Amino acid sequence: MKRTIIITGGAGFIGSHVVRLFVNKYPEYHIINVDKLTYAGNLANLKDVEDKPNYTFVHADICDFDTIYALMQRVHVDGIIHLAAESHVDRSIKDPFTFAKTNVMGTLSLLQAAKLYWESLPEGFEGKRFYHISTDEVYGALQMTHPEGIQPPFTTKASSGEHHLAYGEQFFTEDLKYQPHSPYSAAKASSDHFVRAYHDTYGLPTIVTNCSNNYGPYQFPEKLIPLFINNIRHRKPLPVYGKGENVRDWLYVEDHARAIDVIFHRGTIAETYNIGGFNEWKNIDIIRVLIATTDRLLGRPEGADDDLITYVTDRAGHDLRYAIDSSKLQRELGWEPSLQFEEGIEKTVRWYLDNQDWMDNVTSGDYMKYYEDMYKNR
Ligand code: NAD
Ligand code: TYD
């Protein structure tokens, strides 16, 4: 079936993997990547697909309603996969307005443009789909407790009844109430509410997914994993917030892209799906894996860079633990993560070491100033 799909934020980290997957897997679709190319957007992430006949890049801001509405009419869009956002918690603490503007107003502008355009067609919303990509951070933070005082990690049950190694008894499930703590997660939560409101009020065919922390190639090096790999390579300090005890649930980015493909095509309208791989790690443990893997791949002796670990002032409002329960997605749509974490981390470290040009390109210019400002007071 022919389809025209707008993917917003396709020049960013996750968006570039989604664009690549869709362009290669669906030659009959026309994939239109709409991206403003902020500091986080980089067309070099899409070099391998930029000449494909079913791919078009449109340089635009999702907040610019007139441009977005005209684009939807011009290309006859029938599906939207919305990833464009400001995505880094530390930046949101310094500049919350930009996060509200892009994540809330930008999403609203897309919703309204899609609603107006699709309503103007004879078939209306039939066969259309507005898929909003959100984060597990909207649910807030989970505790690291066990009723009998057992020290984490321990084995516990997710809602599917399956046992998983976890740092606490509770997981994020789709029915949990939203309790965002950072300006980033508050803005994402607000955008999720607008998406649901457009379904409930106007009948717009929407889907929302909330995914855990992603890792893999093409992630901007302000996020933990690429930042630390690059610092280890250059023997720069590794700024660990607080005691490094916070827990995150990590998913390889290509597994997220595959989940988006499955949900875009087979997910139920108006539903929410959580996406994650039951893969919880304490920051400090991940950091040790990153040091060991990077040093091994660079041929450095074991333990050579352990002293780069530098404990710094904690992030304000730092969420203690994230842990996604993705049983619903696994049960209803049969999606499962394909990579074990050890394998994913090895691939990821290797990719950053092999792609120093990409790293040099994205860390030139404004990046160094941001990085120095961010860490000078810690
Ligand atoms: P990213 O910061 O790497 O990329 C964001 C992209 O959006 C960039 O290409 C940027 O240029 C573009 N963009 C920003 N503002 C825009 C605007 N006003 N108009 C058009 N384009 C704009 O982000 P990411 O990590 O790839 O995250 C993508 C989406 O997935 C976000 O919505 C994020 O909330 C969500 N998410 C991310 C993670 C994660 O671990 N990275 C986890 C769960 C959900
Ligand atoms: P990050 O990659 O920013 O993702 P998020 O805040 O969305 O989870 O951070 C992952 C974890 O690593 C988080 O607990 C904060 C911590 N962290 C550090 O300790 N030092 C750093 O320099 C960064 C960027 C993150």
Catalytic hit among 61, 136, 174, 254: 136
Question: What's the pTM value of the predicted model, to 2 decimals?
Answer: 0.97
Catalytic hit among 61, 137, 192, 255: 137
Is residue 230 one of the residues assigned to a domain?
no
Residue 192 near residue 270 (C-beta atoms within 8 A): no
Is residue 324 one of the residues assigned to a domain?
no
The count of domains in the chain is 1
Is residue 201 one of the residues assigned to a domain?
yes
Is residue 76 one of the residues assigned to a domain?
yes
* The pair of three-digit structure tokens given for residue 56, joined into one six-digit string: 């078009």
In ligand 2, the atom with minimum distance to the C-alpha of 182 is 6
172 secondary structure, DSSP code: B
Q: Which ligand is nearest to the CA of 65?
A: 1
User: Using a 6 Å cutoff on CB, does residue 188 contact ligand 1?
Assistant: yes
Is residue 304 one of the residues assigned to a domain?
no
User: Using a 6 Å cutoff on CB, does residue 213 contact ligand 2?
Assistant: yes
Maximum Cα interatomic distance, the chain, rounded to a whole number of Å: 67
Is residue 153 one of the residues assigned to a domain?
no
Examine the residue annotation and report whether 184 is marked as an active-site residue of this protein.
yes
Task: Provide the residue range defining the domain that includes 52.
Answer: 1-140+178-211
Per-residue pLDDT of the chain (378 residues; tens, 9 = 90+): 899 999 999 999 999 999 999 999 999 999 999 999 999 999 999 999 999 999 999 999 999 999 999 999 999 999 999 999 999 999 999 999 999 999 999 999 999 999 999 999 999 999 999 999 999 999 999 999 887 888 899 998 888 888 889 999 999 999 999 999 999 999 999 999 999 999 999 999 999 999 999 999 999 999 999 999 999 999 999 999 999 999 999 999 999 999 999 999 999 999 999 999 999 999 999 999 999 999 999 999 999 999 999 999 999 999 999 999 999 999 999 999 999 999 999 999 999 999 999 999 998 867 666 767 776 666
Examine the residue annotation and report whether 90 is marked as an active-site residue of this protein.
no
Q: For 91, how many CA atoms within 13 A lie in the half-sphere containing its CB?
A: 18
CATH number for the domain that contains residue 87: 3.40.50.720
Q: Which ligand is nearest to the CA of 212?
A: 1
Is residue 126 one of the residues assigned to a domain?
yes
Is residue 24 one of the residues assigned to a domain?
yes
Q: Which ligand is nearest to the CA of 38?
A: 1
Q: How far apart are CA 198 and CA 5, in angstroms?
A: 19
User: Using a 6 Å cutoff on CB, does residue 248 contact ligand 2?
Assistant: yes
